[in-house]
Chain A
Amino acid sequence: MRLKIIYIIFFFNLNLSIYSNEPSFESTIHKNLRCLVCQGQSIADSNSDFALTLKMVVKDLIEQGKTEDEIYNFLSDKYGDWILYKPKLNVENFLLWFLPYLILLIGGLIILYIIRKKGKKT
Chain B
Amino acid sequence: MQKIIKFTVVLFFILILLVFYNSLNRGTNYSTDYLVGNKLTSISLKNFENNKTLTNNDLKKNSYTLINFWASWCAPCRIEHVNLMKLSKEENLKILGVNFKDKTINASKFLDDLGNPYDYLTKDTDGKQSISFGIYGIPESILINDELIVLKKFIGPINDQDLNVIKEIINSS
Contact = CB atoms under 8 A, between A and B. Distances in A.
B126 A53 contact: yes
A60 B136 contact: no
Given A79-B32, A103-B12, 17 more contacts: A37-B136, A37-B137, A49-B127, A53-B128, A53-B130, A54-B131, A60-B128, A75-B131, A78-B32, A78-B35, A79-B134, A80-B32, A80-B34, A82-B30, A106-B8, A110-B8, A113-B5
A37 B130 CA distance: 15
A75 B136 CA distance: 12
A53 B131 contact: yes
Interface string A30-67: 00000011000000000001100110110010000000
Tell me the interface secondary structure of chain A in the complex.
helix
Interface residues of B, number: 20
Interface string B111-127: 00000000000000011
Nearest to B11: A106
B132 interface: yes
Contacts of B5: 110, 113
Contacts of B131: 53-54, 57, 75, 78
B133 interface: yes
B31 to A, nearest CB: 9
Nearest to A106: B8
A82 B27 CA distance: 13
Interface residues of A, number: 19
Interface of B: 1, 5, 8, 12, 30, 32, 34-35, 38, 101, 126-128, 130-134, 136-137
A106 B130 CA distance: 48
Interface string A104-122: 0010001001000000000
Contacts of A103: 12
A6 to B, nearest CB: 51
Contacts of A60: 128
Nearest to A59: B128
Given A50-B137, A54-B131, A80 B35 contact: yes
B136 A113 contact: no
